[in-house]
Protein backbone atom coordinates (compact mmCIF):
# COMPACT_ATOMS: atom_id res chain seq x y z
CA UNK A 1 0.00 0.00 0.00
CA UNK A 2 1.27 3.47 -0.90
CA UNK A 3 1.72 5.78 2.07
CA UNK A 4 0.59 9.18 0.80
CA UNK A 5 2.40 11.37 3.32
CA UNK A 6 5.74 9.56 3.06
CA UNK A 7 5.75 8.96 -0.67
CA UNK A 8 6.66 12.48 -1.91
CA UNK A 9 9.68 12.71 0.38
CA UNK A 10 10.85 9.19 -0.44
CA UNK A 11 10.62 9.75 -4.20
CA UNK A 12 12.25 13.17 -3.93
CA UNK A 13 15.11 11.50 -2.05
CA UNK A 14 15.27 8.88 -4.80
CA UNK A 15 15.52 11.51 -7.56
CA UNK A 16 18.25 13.34 -5.66
CA UNK A 17 20.19 10.10 -5.21
CA UNK A 18 19.83 9.17 -8.89
CA UNK A 19 20.92 12.59 -10.08
CA UNK A 20 24.04 12.41 -7.92
CA UNK A 21 24.77 9.01 -9.49
CA UNK A 22 24.45 10.44 -13.07
CA UNK A 23 21.51 8.12 -13.67
CA UNK A 24 20.13 7.97 -17.22
CA UNK A 25 17.31 5.84 -18.63
CA UNK A 26 15.02 6.18 -21.67
CA UNK A 27 11.67 4.54 -20.95
CA UNK A 28 10.68 2.19 -23.82
CA UNK A 29 7.34 0.68 -24.81
CA UNK A 30 5.63 -1.69 -22.41
CA UNK A 31 6.29 -4.60 -24.80
CA UNK A 32 10.02 -3.87 -24.85
CA UNK A 33 10.01 -3.53 -21.08
CA UNK A 34 8.13 -6.81 -20.73
CA UNK A 35 10.63 -8.63 -22.94
CA UNK A 36 13.50 -7.32 -20.82
CA UNK A 37 11.80 -8.56 -17.64
CA UNK A 38 11.21 -11.99 -19.19
CA UNK A 39 14.77 -12.27 -20.45
CA UNK A 40 16.19 -11.32 -17.05
CA UNK A 41 13.68 -13.01 -14.78
CA UNK A 42 16.38 -14.68 -12.69
CA UNK A 43 19.07 -12.03 -13.04
CA UNK A 44 20.15 -9.81 -10.18
CA UNK A 45 20.42 -6.10 -11.02
CA UNK A 46 23.89 -4.68 -11.23
CA UNK A 47 23.11 -0.95 -11.30
CA UNK A 48 20.41 1.60 -10.53
CA UNK A 49 19.10 1.50 -14.10
CA UNK A 50 18.12 -2.13 -13.54
CA UNK A 51 16.28 -1.27 -10.32
CA UNK A 52 14.53 1.99 -11.29
CA UNK A 53 14.56 1.81 -15.08
CA UNK A 54 13.95 -1.82 -15.97
CA UNK A 55 12.45 -2.47 -12.48
CA UNK A 56 14.16 -5.82 -12.08
CA UNK A 57 13.83 -7.61 -8.72
CA UNK A 58 16.56 -6.72 -6.25
CA UNK A 59 17.71 -7.51 -2.72
CA UNK A 60 17.54 -4.94 0.07
CA UNK A 61 21.33 -4.81 0.21
CA UNK A 62 21.49 -3.62 -3.41
CA UNK A 63 20.42 -0.11 -2.30
CA UNK A 64 21.87 2.18 0.38
CA UNK A 65 20.08 1.54 3.66
CA UNK A 66 18.48 5.02 4.01
CA UNK A 67 17.16 4.94 0.43
CA UNK A 68 15.74 1.42 0.79
CA UNK A 69 14.18 2.19 4.20
CA UNK A 70 12.49 5.36 2.95
CA UNK A 71 11.04 3.71 -0.16
CA UNK A 72 9.86 0.71 1.84
CA UNK A 73 8.16 2.86 4.49
CA UNK A 74 6.43 4.90 1.76
CA UNK A 75 5.02 1.79 0.08
CA UNK A 76 7.07 2.41 -3.06
CA UNK A 77 8.41 -1.17 -3.10
CA UNK A 78 6.59 -4.47 -3.56
CA UNK A 79 7.74 -7.81 -2.22
CA UNK A 80 8.53 -10.42 -4.90
CA UNK A 81 10.11 -13.88 -4.64
CA UNK A 82 13.68 -13.44 -3.49
CA UNK A 83 13.51 -9.70 -2.84
CA UNK A 84 11.82 -6.49 -3.88
CA UNK A 85 10.70 -4.59 -6.96
CA UNK A 86 10.09 -0.85 -7.33
CA UNK A 87 6.54 0.35 -7.97
CA UNK A 88 7.98 3.34 -9.81
CA UNK A 89 10.30 3.92 -12.74
CA UNK A 90 12.48 6.95 -13.37
CA UNK A 91 13.09 8.26 -16.88
CA UNK A 92 15.45 10.93 -18.15
CA UNK A 93 14.03 13.42 -20.61
CA UNK A 94 16.01 16.47 -21.76
CA UNK A 95 18.28 15.99 -18.69
CA UNK A 96 15.24 16.03 -16.39
CA UNK A 97 14.45 13.06 -14.15
CA UNK A 98 10.78 12.06 -14.23
CA UNK A 99 9.32 9.48 -11.85
CA UNK A 100 6.27 7.54 -13.07
CA UNK A 101 4.56 4.16 -12.63
CA UNK A 102 5.90 0.79 -13.63
CA UNK A 103 3.89 -0.99 -16.39
CA UNK A 104 0.66 -1.96 -14.70
CA UNK A 105 -3.03 -2.65 -15.25
CA UNK A 106 -3.86 -0.57 -12.16
CA UNK A 107 -6.47 2.07 -13.08
CA UNK A 108 -4.37 4.86 -11.53
CA UNK A 109 -1.06 3.85 -13.12
CA UNK A 110 0.80 6.89 -14.51
CA UNK A 111 2.25 6.04 -17.90
CA UNK A 112 5.31 7.54 -19.58
CA UNK A 113 6.93 6.17 -22.71
CA UNK A 114 7.86 6.89 -26.34
CA UNK A 115 4.79 9.06 -26.92
CA UNK A 116 5.93 11.29 -24.05
CA UNK A 117 9.28 11.84 -25.75
CA UNK A 118 7.56 12.67 -29.05
CA UNK A 119 5.21 15.04 -27.22
CA UNK A 120 8.04 16.98 -25.61
CA UNK A 121 9.96 17.26 -28.90
CA UNK A 122 6.79 18.56 -30.56
CA UNK A 123 6.32 21.18 -27.82
CA UNK A 124 9.91 22.39 -28.05
CA UNK A 125 9.69 22.75 -31.83
CA UNK A 126 6.27 24.40 -31.92
CA UNK A 127 7.11 26.85 -29.13
CA UNK A 128 10.46 27.94 -30.56
CA UNK A 129 8.71 30.94 -32.08
CA UNK A 130 5.64 33.02 -31.31
CA UNK A 131 4.55 35.19 -28.41
CA UNK A 132 5.33 34.19 -24.84
CA UNK A 133 2.24 32.81 -23.07
CA UNK A 134 1.24 33.92 -19.59
CA UNK A 135 -1.25 31.19 -18.63
CA UNK A 136 -0.52 27.61 -19.70
CA UNK A 137 -2.44 24.42 -18.94
CA UNK A 138 -1.21 20.86 -19.47
CA UNK A 139 -4.46 18.84 -19.70
CA UNK A 140 -4.26 15.26 -18.47
CA UNK A 141 -0.70 15.94 -17.39
CA UNK A 142 0.19 12.48 -16.08
CA UNK A 143 3.65 12.60 -14.53
CA UNK A 144 4.12 16.13 -15.89
CA UNK A 145 6.50 15.67 -18.85
CA UNK A 146 4.71 18.34 -20.88
CA UNK A 147 4.24 20.74 -17.98
CA UNK A 148 7.92 20.46 -17.09
CA UNK A 149 8.89 21.15 -20.71
CA UNK A 150 6.81 24.32 -21.04
CA UNK A 151 7.88 25.52 -17.59
CA UNK A 152 11.50 25.24 -18.76
CA UNK A 153 10.74 27.16 -21.97
CA UNK A 154 8.65 29.86 -20.24
CA UNK A 155 9.88 30.10 -16.63
CA UNK A 156 7.85 33.25 -15.95
CA UNK A 157 4.55 31.72 -17.09
CA UNK A 158 1.76 30.47 -14.83
CA UNK A 159 1.76 26.73 -15.57
CA UNK A 160 -1.13 24.52 -14.41
CA UNK A 161 -1.34 20.73 -14.68
CA UNK A 162 -4.73 18.99 -14.53
CA UNK A 163 -5.58 15.30 -14.30
CA UNK A 164 -8.37 13.10 -12.95
CA UNK A 165 -5.70 10.97 -11.27
CA UNK A 166 -4.47 12.33 -7.94
CA UNK A 167 -1.42 10.02 -8.01
CA UNK A 168 -0.42 11.51 -11.37
CA UNK A 169 -0.53 15.01 -9.95
CA UNK A 170 1.44 13.91 -6.88
CA UNK A 171 4.15 12.66 -9.22
CA UNK A 172 4.00 15.90 -11.22
CA UNK A 173 4.57 17.83 -7.98
CA UNK A 174 7.50 15.58 -7.04
CA UNK A 175 9.06 15.97 -10.49
CA UNK A 176 8.52 19.75 -10.45
CA UNK A 177 10.04 20.04 -6.99
CA UNK A 178 13.14 18.19 -8.14
CA UNK A 179 13.66 20.43 -11.17
CA UNK A 180 12.68 23.64 -9.38
CA UNK A 181 9.76 24.26 -11.76
CA UNK A 182 6.70 26.21 -10.60
CA UNK A 183 3.66 24.11 -11.54
CA UNK A 184 0.23 24.25 -9.96
CA UNK A 185 -1.76 21.00 -9.94
CA UNK A 186 -5.56 20.74 -10.02
CA UNK A 187 -7.59 17.53 -9.89
CA UNK A 188 -10.42 17.23 -12.39
CA UNK A 189 -11.34 16.40 -15.99
CA UNK A 190 -10.05 18.46 -18.90
CA UNK A 191 -10.06 22.19 -18.31
CA UNK A 192 -12.88 22.04 -15.75
CA UNK A 193 -10.64 22.77 -12.73
CA UNK A 194 -9.10 25.89 -14.35
CA UNK A 195 -10.79 29.30 -14.25
CA UNK A 196 -10.41 32.16 -16.70
CA UNK A 197 -8.98 32.60 -20.19
CA UNK A 198 -5.78 30.89 -21.33
CA UNK A 199 -2.90 31.57 -23.71
CA UNK A 200 -1.66 28.02 -24.30
CA UNK A 201 -3.17 24.57 -23.79
CA UNK A 202 -1.07 21.45 -24.32
CA UNK A 203 -2.26 17.86 -24.28
CA UNK A 204 -1.07 14.31 -24.88
CA UNK A 205 -4.31 12.41 -24.21
CA UNK A 206 -4.85 8.66 -24.00
CA UNK A 207 -5.93 7.44 -27.43
CA UNK A 208 -6.42 3.67 -27.25
CA UNK A 209 -9.93 2.19 -27.53
CA UNK A 210 -11.32 -0.86 -25.76
CA UNK A 211 -8.48 -1.22 -23.26
CA UNK A 212 -10.37 -2.24 -20.12
CA UNK A 213 -10.95 1.47 -19.39
CA UNK A 214 -7.51 2.06 -17.93
CA UNK A 215 -7.40 5.82 -17.37
CA UNK A 216 -3.94 6.31 -18.80
CA UNK A 217 -4.72 4.49 -22.08
CA UNK A 218 -8.45 4.64 -22.86
CA UNK A 219 -9.24 7.64 -25.07
CA UNK A 220 -12.96 6.95 -25.19
CA UNK A 221 -15.26 8.01 -28.00
CA UNK A 222 -14.91 6.62 -31.53
CA UNK A 223 -11.78 4.46 -31.78
CA UNK A 224 -10.18 6.20 -28.79
CA UNK A 225 -10.38 9.74 -30.24
CA UNK A 226 -12.88 11.06 -27.69
CA UNK A 227 -10.59 12.78 -25.21
CA UNK A 228 -8.43 14.46 -27.85
CA UNK A 229 -11.49 15.99 -29.52
CA UNK A 230 -13.22 16.91 -26.25
CA UNK A 231 -10.11 18.68 -24.96
CA UNK A 232 -9.71 20.51 -28.28
CA UNK A 233 -13.31 21.76 -28.06
CA UNK A 234 -12.75 22.91 -24.49
CA UNK A 235 -9.53 24.70 -25.39
CA UNK A 236 -11.10 26.58 -28.29
CA UNK A 237 -13.72 27.91 -25.89
CA UNK A 238 -11.12 29.14 -23.39
CA UNK A 239 -8.20 30.50 -25.42
CA UNK A 240 -7.68 34.25 -25.78
CA UNK A 241 -7.33 35.59 -29.35
CA UNK A 242 -3.97 34.44 -30.66
CA UNK A 243 -3.88 31.60 -28.15
CA UNK A 244 -2.91 28.09 -29.19
CA UNK A 245 -3.60 24.49 -28.39
CA UNK A 246 -0.75 22.02 -28.99
CA UNK A 247 -2.11 18.49 -29.26
CA UNK A 248 -0.11 15.27 -29.67
CA UNK A 249 -2.12 12.09 -30.08
CA UNK A 250 -2.60 8.86 -32.00
CA UNK A 251 -5.07 8.79 -34.86
CA UNK A 252 -6.78 5.73 -36.33
CA UNK A 253 -6.70 5.63 -40.13
CA UNK A 254 -9.73 3.93 -41.72
CA UNK A 255 -9.87 3.39 -45.48
CA UNK A 256 -7.16 5.98 -45.89
CA UNK A 257 -8.96 8.60 -43.77
CA UNK A 258 -7.19 10.10 -40.75
CA UNK A 259 -10.06 10.25 -38.25
CA UNK A 260 -8.52 12.91 -35.99
CA UNK A 261 -7.62 15.15 -38.93
CA UNK A 262 -11.17 14.99 -40.25
CA UNK A 263 -12.70 15.83 -36.87
CA UNK A 264 -10.24 18.62 -36.02
CA UNK A 265 -10.64 20.18 -39.47
CA UNK A 266 -14.40 20.34 -38.94
CA UNK A 267 -13.96 21.75 -35.44
CA UNK A 268 -11.48 24.41 -36.54
CA UNK A 269 -13.73 25.50 -39.42
CA UNK A 270 -16.72 25.68 -37.07
CA UNK A 271 -14.83 27.89 -34.59
CA UNK A 272 -12.96 29.98 -37.18
CA UNK A 273 -9.59 28.67 -35.95
CA UNK A 274 -6.42 27.87 -37.88
CA UNK A 275 -5.27 24.24 -37.90
CA UNK A 276 -1.74 23.05 -38.62
CA UNK A 277 -1.50 19.27 -38.68
CA UNK A 278 1.32 16.78 -39.25
CA UNK A 279 1.82 13.01 -39.20
CA UNK A 280 4.93 12.30 -37.13
CA UNK A 281 4.97 8.53 -37.48
CA UNK A 282 2.70 6.65 -39.90
CA UNK A 283 2.47 3.42 -37.91
CA UNK A 284 2.64 3.05 -34.13
CA UNK A 285 1.29 0.42 -31.73
CA UNK A 286 0.69 -2.09 -34.51
CA UNK A 287 -0.14 -4.80 -31.98
CA UNK A 288 -3.20 -2.81 -30.91
CA UNK A 289 -4.82 -3.57 -34.28
CA UNK A 290 -5.37 -7.14 -33.10
CA UNK A 291 -8.10 -5.86 -30.74
CA UNK A 292 -11.68 -6.34 -31.90
CA UNK A 293 -12.35 -2.60 -31.63
CA UNK A 294 -9.78 -1.99 -34.38
CA UNK A 295 -11.16 -4.39 -36.99
CA UNK A 296 -11.73 -1.52 -39.45
CA UNK A 297 -8.47 0.32 -38.74
CA UNK A 298 -5.55 0.15 -41.19
CA UNK A 299 -2.98 1.76 -38.93
CA UNK A 300 -2.57 4.18 -36.02
CA UNK A 301 -0.52 7.29 -36.79
CA UNK A 302 1.27 9.54 -34.33
CA UNK A 303 0.11 13.07 -35.13
CA UNK A 304 0.45 16.60 -33.86
CA UNK A 305 -1.85 19.58 -34.24
CA UNK A 306 -1.46 23.29 -33.57
CA UNK A 307 -4.81 25.06 -33.33
CA UNK A 308 -4.71 28.87 -33.18
CA UNK A 309 -7.75 31.02 -32.41
The 10s digit of each residue's pLDDT in 217-255 is 677 888 999 999 999 999 999 999 999 999 999 999 999
Categorize the per-residue pLDDT at 1 as very low, low, confident or very high, splitting at 50, 70 and 90: low
In this structure, the dihedral spanned by the alpha carbons of residues 138, 143, 148 and 150, taken in order and rounded to 10 degrees, is -20
Q: 149-207 pLDDT, tens per residue? A: 999 999 999 999 999 999 999 999 999 999 999 999 999 999 999 999 999 999 999 99
Beta strands in 164-290 (DSSP E): 183-187, 198-203, 239-254, 257-258, 274-281
Please tell me the distance from the alpha carbon of residue 137 to that of residue 185, in angstroms, as a whole number. 10
HSE value, Cβ hemisphere, 13 Å, CA-based, for 48: 18
Q: Count CA atoms closer than 13 A to 62's CA, side-chain side.
A: 19
Domain ranges of the chain: 7-93, 114-308
Residue 234 to residue 229: CA distance in whole angstroms: 9
How confident is the model at residue 280, as a pLDDT?
Answer: 95
Q: What are 279-308's pLDDT values in tens digits?
A: 999 999 888 999 998 999 999 999 999 999
Average pLDDT over residues 132-150: 97
Q: What is the dihedral of CA 9, 11, 13, 17, to 10 degrees?
A: 180
**Secondary structure of residue 264 in the 3-state scheme:** helix
Domain formed by 114-308, architecture: 3-Layer(aba) Sandwich (3.40)
pLDDT higher than threshold 90 for residue 40: no
59-105: pLDDT as tens digits: 999 999 999 999 999 999 999 988 999 999 999 999 999 999 998 77
Amino acid sequence: MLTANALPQALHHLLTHLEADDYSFVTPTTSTHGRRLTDHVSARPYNLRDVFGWTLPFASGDLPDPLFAGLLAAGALMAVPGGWRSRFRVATMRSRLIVHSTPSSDPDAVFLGPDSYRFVRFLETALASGSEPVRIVDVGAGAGAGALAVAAIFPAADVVATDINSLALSLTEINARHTGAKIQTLVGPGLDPVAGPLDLVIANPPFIAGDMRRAYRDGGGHLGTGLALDWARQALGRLDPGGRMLLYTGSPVVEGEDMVLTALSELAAERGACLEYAELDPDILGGTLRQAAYASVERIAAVDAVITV
